[in-house]
Structure 1
Amino acid sequence: MTSLLGKIARYGVVGLINTLVYYGAYLFLRGALPYLVAHLMAMVPAVIVSYFLNCRFTFRTRPSMRKFLLFPLTNITNFAGVTVFLYVLVEFFGMDQRTAPLLATVLAVPATFAVTQLVLTRTPSRSRAGAGGGQF
């Protein structure tokens, strides 16, 4: 149980850093693009930073090409959740486009943690381990 609490705490720290990366990119891009396009583009650097920080700090696992390639697919949970919450908060609740992504991100955290842990800590079977599983 202590190990899980440690992971959750580290995930929270990484999440805060990642949110700053995403939000900074979002605000920068929002100056020139519609808010949903800025959101989509800001996710790219956020996913990359999140991958490496979660590998090294949260789950203490070595980055690999296989995990790196799978990581964006698992972030579909986060991406979809944040996107839906962002749209609902802006369009239905009239929340400011500059602050809505922050609340949307918080609302998507529980599902994202579960999927991230699964992808980064699950060990592939021996027969598949050699294919595309090289270390960074």
Structure 2
Amino acid sequence: MFIFTAQFWKFVIVGFINTFNYYILYLLFFHLLDWHYMAAHIISFVISMVGSFYLNSYFTYRTKPTFRKFIQFPMTYVVNILISTLAMWVFVDLLALSENVAPLLSSALAIPFTFVISKIILTQEG
């Protein structure tokens, strides 16, 4: 099972780093710039995705980052952003959870999906 591989745990470590970066950006945009929580979520997500590409390329999958992979990499996050955005809405608007906690819970739900998709894209040749 993929959760017991070293590669998966490296992905999780990168995920923690990426989530920390995302969360700091989210709080900055939400609290300091007074953006709507959803705008803060999406912009923070996109910015942190670039860092995730390089960390996963070099550390997790030990592959050379290429322009082609960089262009394809956001596809790995289509599922991630759909799951996390829907979860944000459910947690904040339906369940009335804090806008400060919801991003962390939402991000955790998407981890297994993102691992599988990013592994396919980042380990392909070319």
* Class of the TM-score when normalised by the shorter of the 2 chains: over 0.9
Q: What per-residue deviation string (whole Å, max 9, x for no partner) do you get for residues 53-81 of structure 1? A: 00000011000000001111221111111
Other-structure match for 1:21: 21
Runs of 4+ in 1 over 4 A off after TM superposition: none
1:104-136 CA-to-partner distances (Å, cap 9, x unmatched) read 10011111111110110122xxxxx5xxxxxxx
Matching residue of 2:11: 11
CA distance in 1, matches of 2:88, 2:29: 16
| Alignment-derived partner of residue 101 in structure 1 | 103
Report the CA distance between 1:92 and its aligned residue: 1.5
Structure 2 alignment gaps of length 5 or more:
none
- Equivalent position to 2:54, from 52, 55, 61: 52
Q: Which has the higher helix share?
A: 2
TM-score by length of structure 2 reads 0.92
Alpha-carbon distance in structure 2 between the residues aligned to 1:91 and 1:108:
19
Unaligned regions of 5+ residues in structure 1, if any? 124-128, 130-136
Identity %: 35
Partner of 2:77: 75
Query: What are the Cα deviations for residues 3-58 of structure 1, in whole angstroms up to 9, with x where unaligned?
Result: x6111110010000000010000000002200000011101221001000000000
- The one-letter amino acid paired with 1:18 is N
Q: Pick from 102, 112, 115: which aligns with 1:113?
A: 115
Larger radius of gyration: 1
Structure 2 Cα separation of the partners of residues 58 and 109 of structure 1 = 14
Could you say which residue in structure 2 is the equivalent of 1:36? 38
